[in-house]
Amino acid sequence: MSERGSPARDRDLPSALAWPAVAAAAVVWFFLFAVPGVNFWAVIAPATFVLGGAALLVYPDTLRAPASRWLVYLAMGTVAAAILYGVFFLGNELAGALPFFGGQVENVYTTKAQANPNLIGALLLFPIGPGEELFWRAWVQRALMAKYGRWRGFAITTALYTAIHLPSLNPTLLAAAAAAGIFWGLLYMQVRHIGPGIVSHALWDAAVFVWIPFA
């Protein structure tokens, strides 16, 4: 597979570098959610660009695949995005029937007022969606699976991805992050290439925030 390197390199250096990188990402997400007046899109776009770029430096073979295989990844990612959107649609319908979740979905969309919808959609398609997948799955999960084993690496990565959303203090957003993290983590673990995850994350982001949002 294109993402398999030498065992020693996969196990040691990338996993060692992943921890300070995750800490840096946690600082950025804390800044996004906990500091009043921050323009969400002005921060997350360059942050995900840098994090995704760093992932490519750590694992230069990440995107390597024949053009024909990328067509398969495009189709797989599109289907995966549609499936995940359907799961969230059902979840949103259920949440709407529970008083505890009242207003929380709407709170997730407050950042839409900070930029033009067309710009938000473009940023979600690139660099935000792809950057998050490159960082969390193609670097952090890949490194931790090599270091700790497939399932432990997947579980740790999903927990970290969920935890960085804690400063939002929004249970709905936390549940969404956990569900999406599990979905994309399993997708990456099974395919062992980030292509479908990049496509799925980018399309799903743009769909739920701009094209066919839930609020």
- Is the residue at 197 inside a domain? yes
Tell me, yes or no, if the pTM score tops 0.75: yes
**Domain span holding position 194:** 7-60+69-211
- Cβ atoms 77, 200 nearer than 8 A: yes
Displacement of CA 126 from its chain's centroid (Å): 12
- Is the residue at 148 inside a domain? yes
Residue 88 is predicted with a pLDDT of 95
CA dist 155 and 116 (Å) reads: 36
Question: Which tokens in the block code for residue 62?
Answer: 């990440």
Q: Pick from 44, 28, 54: which is nearest to 164 by CA?
A: 28
- Is the residue at 107 inside a domain? yes
- Is the residue at 157 inside a domain? yes
- Cβ atoms 125, 50 nearer than 8 A: no
Share of the chain above pLDDT 70, in %: 91
Tokens 């189709």 correspond to what residue? 75
- How many other C-beta atoms lie within 10 A of the C-beta of residue 70? 14
What does the pLDDT average to over 148-177? 96
Residue 101 is predicted with a pLDDT of 58
Residue 2 is predicted with a pLDDT of 47
- Is the residue at 1 inside a domain? no
Q: How many domains does the chain have?
A: 1
- Cβ atoms 206, 121 nearer than 8 A: yes
Bond before 36 cis per omega within 30 degrees: no
State pLDDT tens for residues 50-108.
999 999 999 999 999 999 999 999 999 999 999 999 999 998 888 766 655 556 778 88
Ramachandran angles phi, psi of 123, nearest 5°: -65, -35
- Is the residue at 47 inside a domain? yes
- Is the residue at 2 inside a domain? no
Radius of gyration of the chain (CA): 17
